[in-house]
Amino acid sequence: MQLSARSGTVLRRPGHALNRGPRRALITQATKSAVSTKEAAAAKAELLRLVKGTERGVSTSASDLSAIKSAVQVLRAAGEGSATTGAEQSGTWELVWTTEKETLFILEKAPVFGTRAGGVYQVIDTAGDGSGPYLQNVITFPPEGAFIVDSAINVEGPQRVGFSFTAAKLKLPAGRNVPVPPFGKGWFDNVYMDKDIRVSCDSRGDTLVTTRVGPPKRFT
Domain boundaries, the chain: 23-79, 87-214
pLDDT at residue 1 in the model: 67
Measure the CA–CA gap between 202 and 209, rounded to whole angstroms: 12
Per-residue pLDDT 10s for the chain (220 aa) are 665 544 433 333 333 333 444 444 444 444 445 899 999 999 999 999 999 999 999 999 999 999 999 999 999 999 999 999 999 999 999 999 999 999 999 999 998 778 899 999 999 999 987 889 999 999 999 998 999 999 999 999 999 999 999 999 999 888 899 999 888 899 999 999 999 999 999 999 999 999 999 999 999 9
DSSP string for residues in 146-191: EEEEEEEEEE-SSSEEEEEEEEEEEE-GGG-EEE---B-EEEEEEE
Is the domain defined by 87-214 classed in CATH 2.40.128.20? yes
Q: State residue 34's pLDDT score.
A: 83
- Phi-psi region at 75: left, alpha or beta (left = phi > 0; alpha = psi -120 to 50): alpha
> Terminal CA-to-CA distance of the chain, rounded, Å?
19
Look at residue 25 in the predicted model and tell me its pLDDT. Answer: 41
Number of Cβ within 10 Å of residue 2's Cβ equals 26
Query: Where are the alpha helices (H) located in the chain, listed in sequence order?
Result: 23-32, 37-51, 62-79, 101-109
| pTM for this entry | 0.84
pLDDT at 215: 97
